[in-house]
Structure 1
C-alpha cells in the first residue's frame, strides 16, 4: 500500500520539505559530525506527527517493538545497519543473547522473530533468554505463521549472563524495564548490554529527552534559517502530581492553561485556524492513566477521575502521585483508508532502516493513536527506492516526504544520545 499523504501541497510543511531537500548535503554533514562526538542508541523508533503546518516527533522509543511491520524490501537495510552496529561494539562477536519482553501478543512475538532474523543474517548466533523466572527449561512459543520461538532461562555465572552452552559477548534488551532493573542484569562482567540499563523506564524521563531535542532543534533550525517551533513540540514538566488532591489538580490545570496559551500565540503568528490542544502524559514511561487530550484547561479533571477509578480498583501504588508532563499536541493530517495515521520511523545505530504507519480509526487527529484499536500498515512506495528525488514537487513524492520524516527522526535519535550521556551513572558529568 502506498502512503496516502493528504497534506496540502502548499504551506509550511512543503516549504520545510523543500528546504530540507535543498540542504541535504549540509544536513548529512551535520549528522556525520554529531556521530563523531556522540554514540547513537543501538536501535530507536520515533513517532512523527505531520500537521501540515509543522512536523515533530511526539515519542522516541529506545526498545522498539515494530520490526515486523517493516516490509521485506527494508530487511537488507536493517541487516546492514545491524552489521555496522555490532562491528562497532564487539567486532569479534559470534553470539547474541536477545532478551524480549514477557508479552505473548502475536504482534510482539513476530517483532522478536524479525529481530532474530535480522541479527542471524548479520552473522550472529541468536538465542532468546527470558526474565520470567517461571521459565525453567527451553520453552517453545508458537507464532501465527506456524513457526515457533524457543525461550530459555537465564543463567548467571561468574558475573556473566548465559544460557546453557551459550556465552554471548553482547546482550540485546527488547524489554523496557518499566518495573525496574532485575539483579540478574546488573554488574555484568565483560559483556555489552544494549541499550544500557539507564535507558529503561525505571530511570528514563521523557522530559529529559524532549529538553535535549529542543536544544538540537534550535541548532538545526538555525542552520536551515527557520523557526524551530516548526519541528519542535513544546513541553512543560509537571513533576509528581497527586491528582486526587485539589492542590495537585489546580497545579496541573495551571500548567495546561499556560502551555495552551503558548500554543495559541504560535497559531496566531502563523494564521492557523485549528483549535490548539495539549497532551498530558506520564513522564516515566507507560501511561498508566492513558494519554489525555486537553483542549481547555478544565479538561484536566478527566485525568483526576481516571486516577480515582484506578485507585478504587486497586491498580494504583500505595502512595498517590504520578510523574506527568504536558506536550503541545501536534495533529496528524495523514490517513490510511480514511483512518487517522502517523508514521513511525525505525532506526538501527545511526541509520534509518524503514518505517510504517500506526493507524487508528477509533481516534481523532488530535488524539493519541497508540491505544486500543491501533493497527500497523507497512510503509511501501510506488517508486523502487527510499532515496529522495531531486526536483520533485514538494508533497508529490513519497520518498521525499519519508526522507523528511527520517531527518526529524534522526534529530530525535541524536537527542536520545545526548539524553543517555547526561543520565549515564558512570559518566563524570552525572549529577
Structure 2
C-alpha cells in the first residue's frame, strides 16, 4: 500500500514533475550517457525533501543502513540490481565478506545487515559477516526482532587480503562508514576489491565536496530539462577551522549563514514563496543526525549556550567537529498521518530499488527528521519508479516516485564523480 501523503500539489513542483514526465525519454537517455562515463557507487541512499515548490536532496549516504525498511515487494528489483553490480565488478565472484558497523547492540541495524546479506546471497554469492569490532573475537550469534539471526565473525588479515576463518573472498563490501578512521586491518589491501572504496568513508569524505559535485551534475541536467537548477538543488557553503567549545569561528559561521539566507530570500521572492528561509548547519563529515542545527538568523550561531556547543562539537565515534556545511533548508510538506515525513531513496548500482519515508511526530517541516523518535514507512512502489505513467496526473504515486528516483540518481551520479575526484587525490598523495 502506498502511504497516504498530504502534499502541496500546486506551484513549481507540479510543473517540475510534469516537465519530467514530458521528457522521460530525454531524461533516461541523459542518464544512460552519463553512466557510460561514470562508475556508480555500489549502493547509496539519498534523503530527499519535497517543499511543494522545490524537490532536492539534502544528504547522500554511501554506506546505507536501512535495507530492512524497504518494502519486501522490492526485493526482486534489489537482487537484480546487485547482480548487475557484481557482474561488472567481479563477474566470477563466488563469495563476499560484508563488514558491518560495530553496533552489535542495535538490533534494528543488524536486521538491515541480515536483509542486505539476503539480497547478496540471492545473486549467487556465499556471504559471511566479518566484524572489525574488538568485541567480536569468535563467531557470535545475534538474534533479531523478526525471528532471524546472524553470525558475526572476526575479520582476519591474510597478507594483503582480508577475510574470515576459512574464506578469502574476491570482494569486501563495507557497510561501515569508517567515521573513526580506517582500521589497520583494512589498510594496505591489495589484489582484493573493497566496496565502497576506503576514501568513501567519513574519515576522508566531506559533504561539501559531494554537493560541489552535485552542483556540476545539476547544471548539466537542468540545461537539458530547461529548468532553474535551484528547483532541485539547495544552496550551500562551508566553513572550517571552527571550535564550538572555544567559540572559535563564530563570526565566520554567521557570515556564511547570512550568505545562504540572502541567496535563498532572492529565490523565494522570485517565485512568490511565502515561507521563512532557514539554513541547516551540520558537520561536514558524519551521519546519524548528529552535529546538526537549524538556523533562521545569523545571530543564532553567535554565543551558543553550553548545550548547543556540546551538541555541535561531537559526532559519531566522539569525533570533534571543526568543519561544517551550511546548507539551504528545504521544507518538507509531506505528512503521513499528521506526522512530518521525508522520502529516502535507495539505490544499488545505478538503479533505484525502493525507499521509505522517514517520519517524525515531534519535528516540524523545517527541522531535521533524522533524530531519536523517528520511524519508517516503506515506499511500496506499485510499479518500479523508472516507469512513470505519463497519462496519469503528475502527482500520482508512481509519477511522484519517479521524480524522487530522478533526484536520487542525480545524487548518485554526483557521488560517483566525487569518488573519482577523491581517488585521484589519494593516488597523488
The question of a shared fold, defined as TM-score above 0.5 by the shorter chain, is answered with yes
**Residue in 1 aligned with 2:91?**
91
Mapped contact 2:3–2:377 kept (Cα < 8 A): no
Relative to structure 1, the CA distance from residue 375 to residue 252 in structure 2 (aligned partners, 3 Å threshold; closer, same or farther) is same
Mapped contact 1:96–1:170 kept (Cα < 8 A): yes
- Are 2:147 and 1:146 equivalent residues in the alignment? yes
Q: Deviations over 1:265-307 (max 9, x none)?
A: 1100100001110000000224786311101111214756346
Tell me the secondary structure at the aligned position of residue 251 of structure 1. helix
**Residue in 1 aligned with 2:257?**
256
Relative to structure 1, the CA distance from residue 159 to residue 53 in structure 2 (aligned partners, 3 Å threshold; closer, same or farther) is same
Q: Give 1:135 deviation, angstroms.
A: 1.7
Tell me the secondary structure at the aligned position of residue 5 of structure 1. coil
Counterpart CA distance in 1 for 2:211 and 2:28 is 22
Mapped contact 2:247–2:303 kept (Cα < 8 A): no
Relative to structure 1, the CA distance from residue 152 to residue 5 in structure 2 (aligned partners, 3 Å threshold; closer, same or farther) is same
- Are 2:241 and 1:240 equivalent residues in the alignment? yes
Mapped contact 2:289–2:370 kept (Cα < 8 A): no
Counterpart CA distance in 2 for 1:398 and 1:288 is 28
Relative to structure 1, the CA distance from residue 411 to residue 135 in structure 2 (aligned partners, 3 Å threshold; closer, same or farther) is same
Q: Which deviates further from its counterpart, 51-60 or 250-259?
A: 250-259
Tell me the secondary structure at the aligned position of residue 365 of structure 1. coil
- Are 2:37 and 1:37 equivalent residues in the alignment? yes
Counterpart CA distance in 2 for 1:59 and 1:342 is 12
**Residue in 2 aligned with 1:331?**
331
Q: Give 1:352 deviation, angstroms.
A: 0.5
- Are 2:82 and 1:82 equivalent residues in the alignment? yes
Relative to structure 1, the CA distance from residue 426 to residue 260 in structure 2 (aligned partners, 3 Å threshold; closer, same or farther) is closer
**Residue in 2 aligned with 1:421?**
420
Mapped contact 2:130–2:153 kept (Cα < 8 A): yes
- Could you tell me the TM-score, scaled by structure 2's length? 0.94
**Residue in 1 aligned with 2:70?**
70
- Are 2:173 and 1:137 equivalent residues in the alignment? no
Mapped contact 2:44–2:62 kept (Cα < 8 A): yes
Mapped contact 2:97–2:128 kept (Cα < 8 A): yes
Counterpart CA distance in 2 for 1:246 and 1:23 is 50
Aligned counterparts, 1:21-420, within 5 A:
21-103=21-103, 104-245=105-246, 248-286=249-287, 290-301=291-302, 303=304, 305-306=306-307, 308-309=309-310, 322-381=322-381, 383=382, 386=385, 387-395=387-395, 397-420=396-419
Q: Which deviates further from its counterpart, 116-125 or 290-299?
A: 290-299
Gaps of 5+ in 1: none
Mapped contact 2:132–2:154 kept (Cα < 8 A): yes
Relative to structure 1, the CA distance from residue 277 to residue 311 in structure 2 (aligned partners, 3 Å threshold; closer, same or farther) is closer
Counterpart CA distance in 1 for 2:52 and 2:81 is 31
Q: Give 1:426 deviation, angstroms.
A: 6.7
Counterpart CA distance in 2 for 1:237 and 1:164 is 44
Counterpart CA distance in 2 for 1:40 and 1:264 is 35
Mapped contact 2:155–2:163 kept (Cα < 8 A): yes
Q: Which deviates further from its counterpart, 297-306 or 45-54?
A: 297-306
Q: Deviations over 1:310-360 (max 9, x none)?
A: 6999x9989x76211100000001011110000000000000001110001
Counterpart CA distance in 1 for 2:301 and 2:171 is 45
Q: Deviations over 1:78-111 (max 9, x none)?
A: 0000100001000000111000001131210110
Relative to structure 1, the CA distance from residue 8 to residue 289 in structure 2 (aligned partners, 3 Å threshold; closer, same or farther) is closer
Q: Deviations over 1:201-235 (max 9, x none)?
A: 00000000001101111111111111000000000
Counterpart CA distance in 2 for 1:246 and 1:354 is 42
Mapped contact 1:249–1:304 kept (Cα < 8 A): no
Counterpart CA distance in 1 for 2:45 and 2:303 is 30
Relative to structure 1, the CA distance from residue 423 to residue 305 in structure 2 (aligned partners, 3 Å threshold; closer, same or farther) is same
Counterpart CA distance in 2 for 1:288 and 1:398 is 28
Relative to structure 1, the CA distance from residue 133 to residue 349 in structure 2 (aligned partners, 3 Å threshold; closer, same or farther) is same
Tell me the secondary structure at the aligned position of residue 267 of structure 2. helix
Mapped contact 2:288–2:370 kept (Cα < 8 A): no
Gaps of 5+ in 2: none
Relative to structure 1, the CA distance from residue 199 to residue 304 in structure 2 (aligned partners, 3 Å threshold; closer, same or farther) is farther
